[in-house]
Amino acid sequence: MDDNEIKVRFAEVLKTKLHETEMTQKQIANLLKVSEASVSSWLSGTATPSDLIVIHRCSKIFGISFFEMCFGKGAIDGQLEGDLNKKFEEIAAGKWEVTINLKPTK
């Protein structure tokens, strides 16, 4: 899955959830403490939140998992999603320090 597909999937989920909850862009922006322009760019599929905690808060507002918010329902195997979501909840609660080590492929 490339970056553009992730942006499109996030946009689709966000649009669906805003429609289901009858929430406006302004309301979700206020809840997430981001600009309306940011929400607009997410909805158009040109960007995604740069902060994982914003995605996490968004998923909590809509009552879905972090991974469903990012990739859509059923995009990840149920057991794996549960395990990853539990770990992400621990990270969001400050129980883990996360470092990323990027290496070029050979």
Within 13 Å, how many C-alpha atoms sit on residue 38's CB side? 15
pLDDT score of 99 more than 70: no
CATH number of residue 8's parent domain: 1.10.260.40
pTM of the predicted model as reported, rounded to 2 decimal places: 0.74
**Does residue 18 form part of some domain?**
yes
pLDDT at 63: 93
Closest CA to 18 of 51, 46, 42, 53: 42
Contact predicate 11/44, CB 8 Å: yes
pLDDT at 53: 84
pLDDT at 81: 65
pLDDT score of 24 more than 80: yes
Question: How many Cβ atoms from other residues are within 10 Å of residue 18's Cβ?
Answer: 17
**Does residue 75 form part of some domain?**
yes
**Does residue 105 form part of some domain?**
no
pLDDT score of 89 more than 90: no
**Does residue 35 form part of some domain?**
yes
Residue 76: DSSP 8-state: S
Higher pLDDT: 8 or 94? It is 8
**Does residue 106 form part of some domain?**
no
Q: Where residue 91 falls among pLDDT bands split at 50, 70, 90?
A: confident
Range of the structural domain that residue 77 is part of:
3-92
Number of separate domains in the chain: 1
Express each pLDDT in 25-80 by its tens digit: 999 999 999 999 999 999 999 998 888 889 989 999 999 988 888 888 776 666 66
